[in-house]
Amino acid sequence: MARGNTDKYTIEQIITAIKGSSGIKMTIMRRLDCSRNTVDNYLRRYATAQAAYDEETELPLDFAESIVINDMANNRSVETAKWYLKAKGRSRGYTDRSETEHSGTIEHKHVTELSDEELSRIAALSGSGTAKA
């Protein structure tokens, strides 16, 4: 016996519930009177619903970003500009951290496997004077 379409909601109903929700699943759930699991299942099964949801979640980000940009332009906020550069200017080198790529191998040894000479070099680098064996 073939299994028929048992969807409770049409894809149009799902997309209508998504629109204006800002991607808040609780809002979508209330509009449809269903569980979070139901919403997640529809998003997983229907690419058009997932696309509508993805687009909806971008809107609050765009809005927040416009506030940040307006603050920089209108208030000349240095702190906001620094934050924005850290968040969005990574490709131009604006970051709090430095990332380094390493293509070689790194040798790992347990401290008990180190020679006295290696322990002495580590002690000298750390400024602790002498190493204890």
Q: What is the pLDDT of residues 107-125, one digit of tens each?
A: 777 888 888 888 888 888 8
Distances (CA, A) of 66 to 55, 73, 79, 124: 17, 10, 16, 53
Domain ranges of the chain: 11-94
Pick from 56, 39, 48: nearest CA to 12: 48
Q: What is the pLDDT of residues 12-67, one digit of tens each?
A: 999 999 999 999 999 999 999 999 999 999 999 999 999 999 999 999 988 988 99
What's this model's pTM, rounded to 2 decimal places? 0.57
**pLDDT attached to residue 129:** 53
Tokens (6 digits) for 55: 């687009």
